Amino acid sequence: MGRRFEGLTALVTGATGGFGRGICERLAHDGARLVLSDLEGPPVEALAASLGTETAMLCGDIAVEALSEKLVDLAVKQFGRLDIAINNAGVAQSFVRLPQVPSDEARRIIDIDLMGVFYAMKYQLPQMERQHRQTGKGGAIVNISSVAGLVGAQRLSVYAAAKHGVVGLTRSAAGEYAKKGVRVNAVCPAFARTAMVDDFVKMTGKREADAIAEISRGVPMKRVAEVEEVVEAILFAADPKNSFMTGHALSVDGGITAI
- Residue 19: CB atoms within 10 A of its CB come to 23
Give me the helices (H) in the chain, please.
18-29, 41-51, 65-79, 103-109, 116-135, 157-177, 195-204, 208-215, 227-238
- Cα–Cα distance measured from residue 53 to residue 24, given in angstroms and rounded to the nearest whole number: 10
43-52: average pLDDT: 98
pLDDT over threshold 80, residue 216:
yes
pLDDT over threshold 90, residue 215:
no
Task: List the Cα angle 34/38/41 in 5-degree steps.
Answer: 95
- Cα–Cα distance measured from residue 24 to residue 19, given in angstroms and rounded to the nearest whole number: 9
For residue 197, name the pLDDT band (cuts at 50, 70, 90).
confident
Task: Give the model's pLDDT for residue 227.
Answer: 96
The helix/strand count (H/E) of the chain reads as: 9, 7
Q: What amino acid positions are annotated as catalytic residues?
A: 159
pLDDT over threshold 70, residue 101:
yes
Tell me the pTM.
0.96
4-16: average pLDDT: 97
- Cα–Cα distance measured from residue 20 to residue 43, given in angstroms and rounded to the nearest whole number: 12
85-89: average pLDDT: 98
82-95: average pLDDT: 95
Task: Give the model's pLDDT for residue 2.
Answer: 62
- Cα–Cα distance measured from residue 223 to residue 71, given in angstroms and rounded to the nearest whole number: 36
Higher pLDDT, 134 or 214: 134
248-256: average pLDDT: 97
- Kindly report the average pLDDT of the chain as a whole number: 95
Phi, psi at residue 9, to the nearest 5°?
Answer: -105, 125
